[in-house]
Amino acid sequence: MATGVSKTKMNGNLQVSTSDNGNLSYHPIWQNGNSANRLYFGDNLAVMQDMLKDETIKGQIRLIYIDPPYATNSVFQTRKQQDAYTDLLTGNDYVDFIRERLSLMKELLADNGSIYVHLDNKMVFHIKVLMDEIFGTGNFRSMITRKKCKSKNFTKNSFGNISDYILFYTKSNNYVWNKQYDQWTDDKILKEYPFIEEDTGRRYKRVPIHAPGTRNGETGKTWRGMMPPEGKHWQFTPNKLEELDRNGEIYWSSTGNPRRKVYLDESNGIALQDIWLDYLDVNNQNTQTTGYPTEKNIDMLKRIILASSNMGDLVMDCFAGSGTMLVAADELKRNWIGVDVGNEAIKVILNRFKNGTQTLDEHIGNKKEIQKTPDLFSSSLIEGNTFVANKIAHHLINNYTIFANGKYSGAEFQIPENTATIKNGILDRASEEGNI
Ligand SMILES: C[S@@+](CC[C@H](N)C(=O)[O-])C[C@H]1O[C@@H](n2cnc3c(N)ncnc32)[C@H](O)[C@@H]1O
């Protein structure tokens, strides 16, 4: 679990994530600007059924990320002990709940779209089988193992559970893919690129110039009087090898063994693999958070968005929670659709759009001010000469439309300008100063 508290009983009136009436259509209840960004307050089953009627959305979503309930049989609370959402469906009921929704997501996805489903070790294999069935085994791309928290003193007689999983599928073989890289660290550079070219000072590594497998063409022929080693072929034609050597890109050992030089300054970084260690969720008192339970690491979401969409694309998270995916998408200039059935989630998202996040410390009531040298930080972090640890410059989001339907009569949350109550699916205009 990332943040928040889980238990099995609710405090008060919590909306439960069961299906609502698919016949009720969703309509704008608040709007600012003319972007395609949409925030839906409702059960994603009915919302997606409604979206499928809209040709500007059906088959147009480039990327879907979901982080649904994990069948933990718990009720989750915010840091301020507000009930946030229930996770009470288990076994077949849970699988059916996810199945219905994944089928709709497939229809909403663009043909070159991708879907990422975040789960823990309880249901990941059940849902993997389900996704093989819905998206096709051939469209399975990766199962990412993510380190979710620091090592802990696990009390069970087992290994500490610090990982969760993200299943990555695409709708077809032809999908948006922007390869992701990590930056080189000094340690890794010294290990991987140990040599420095005398003339140029360029750092490089030495790699073989042959590869496994025999070839009958040019790459299987003699170069400088040498045949490739038994069972191998040259990686380049003899002509190309000549050119590399002329350019000083071949290293000759004292025993006359040629190797190719690969330069650090030509590397894009370290290609991202399917084990992610750098995206822990809220893990210390200074982590910026909304206080919503199970809030995910925003940098992890940015990686996914960068890998599987381009600027201007439409992306969706229909289990939006605190809106991490939506904020990441907005920052990266994607259009977004967010859906959540919980009153508390919508409240948290709207507050996050307007006010950003706070440190964990502040959520539990400690307003910690630390004296720091002001010029190290941007002016937005400074009050007088004091660096305010719990305030960081945040990305204001105010260009979007809120959708709801009549089912949520009486729900109350902070719209961007004021507190508004939805009555019969319509914003109570008496308390509203927004501009619909
Ligand atoms: C694990 S949380 C998502 C956390 C999110 N990734 C974040 O970073 O904050 C799951 C969310 O799914 C929402 N949810 C559960 N069932 C839903 C449904 N049928 N329709 C829409 N949202 C639902 C819950 O209200 C909850 O906010």
The domain that holds 134 is classified in CATH as: 3.40.50.150
DSSP state of 223: B
Same domain, 291 and 389: yes
In a domain, 2, yes or no: no
Q: Cβ(180)–Cβ(307) under 8 Å?
A: yes
Q: Cβ(81)–Cβ(10) under 8 Å?
A: no
The pLDDT value recorded for residue 10 is: 44
Give mean pLDDT, residues 222-235. 95
Q: Where are the alpha helices (DSSP H) in 157-255?
A: 186-192, 238-246
Lowest mean pLDDT among 72-86, 254-268, 330-344: 72-86
The secondary structure element, H or E, covering residue 117 is strand 109-119
Confidence tier at 371 by pLDDT (50, 70, 90)? very low
pLDDT at 168 over 60: yes
Same domain, 166 and 204: no
375 against 286, higher pLDDT:
286
Estimate to the nearest angstrom the gap between the alpha carbon of 292 and the chain centroid: 17
Lowest mean pLDDT among 69-78, 208-217, 292-301, 427-436: 427-436
Evaluate: CB of 296 within 6 angstroms of ligand 1.
yes
pLDDT at 161 over 60: yes
Total structural domains in the chain? 2
The pLDDT value recorded for residue 23 is: 56
Ligand 1: distance of its center to the CA of 187 in Å?
Answer: 40
pLDDT at 323 over 80: yes
Instruction: State which ligand 1 atom lies nearest to the alpha carbon of 292.
Output: 9
Give mean pLDDT, residues 117-130. 97
Average pLDDT of the chain is 85
Same domain, 67 and 116: yes
Evaluate: CB of 295 within 6 angstroms of ligand 1.
yes
Ligand 1: distance of its center to the CA of 343 in Å?
Answer: 11
In a domain, 11, yes or no: no
Same domain, 80 and 172: yes
The pLDDT value recorded for residue 157 is: 87
In a domain, 9, yes or no: no
Neighbours of 194 (CB within 10 A): 11
From 203, 235, 266, the end of a domain falls on 266
Helices 91-108, 124-135: inter-axial angle, 10-degree rounding: 40
352 against 367, higher pLDDT:
352
Evaluate: CB of 342 within 6 angstroms of ligand 1.
yes
For residues 43 and 21, what is the distance between their CA atoms, to the nearest angstrom? 9
The pLDDT value recorded for residue 48 is: 97
Same domain, 333 and 399: yes
From 266, 287, 316, the end of a domain falls on 266
pLDDT at 14 over 70: no
In a domain, 17, yes or no: no
In a domain, 85, yes or no: yes
Same domain, 169 and 300: yes
> Taking the CA atoms of the chain, what radius of gyration do you get in angstroms?
26
In a domain, 368, yes or no: yes
Instruction: State which ligand 1 atom lies nearest to the alpha carbon of 68.
Output: 10
Ligand 1: distance of its center to the CA of 66 in Å?
Answer: 8
In a domain, 209, yes or no: yes
Ligand 1: distance of its center to the CA of 261 in Å?
Answer: 50
Evaluate: CB of 292 within 6 angstroms of ligand 1.
yes
Token duo for residue 368:
């910690």
Same domain, 124 and 171: yes
Output the CA–CA distances (angstroms, integers) from residue 341 to 35, 45, 172, 338, in the order listed.
Answer: 22, 10, 30, 10
Same domain, 293 and 403: yes
For residues 415 and 353, what is the distance between their CA atoms, to the nearest angstrom? 10
Quick one: which of 4, 14, 7 has its CA closest to 341?
14
Same domain, 41 and 170: yes
Evaluate: CB of 294 within 6 angstroms of ligand 1.
yes
Residue closest by Cα to atom 27 of ligand 1 = 321
246: domain range? 186-266
Same domain, 162 and 289: yes
The tens digit of pLDDT for each residue in 64-109 reads 999 999 988 888 888 878 888 888 888 899 999 999 999 999 999 9
In a domain, 112, yes or no: yes
Same domain, 172 and 138: yes
Quick one: which of 176, 187, 180, 242 has its CA closest to 209?
242
- Tokens 């030509």 label which residue? 266
Q: What is the 3-state secondary structure (H, E, C) of 305-325?
A: HHHHCCCCCEEEECCCCCCHH
List Cβ neighbours of 330 (8 Å cut-off, separation of 6 or more): 37, 336, 395, 397
Whole-structure pTM value:
0.85
Residue closest by Cα to atom 14 of ligand 1 = 319
Same domain, 349 and 420: yes
From 266, 293, 315, the end of a domain falls on 266
Evaluate: CB of 297 within 6 angstroms of ligand 1.
no
Q: Tell me the best of 117, 341, 357 to mutate to test the pocket of ligand 1, counting ligand atoms within 8 Å of each CB and taking the most.
A: 341
Give mean pLDDT, residues 18-25. 54
Lateral strand order in the sheet of 140-147: 27-32, 400-404, 38-41, 335-340, 314-317, 61-66, 109-119, 163-170, 140-147, 275-276
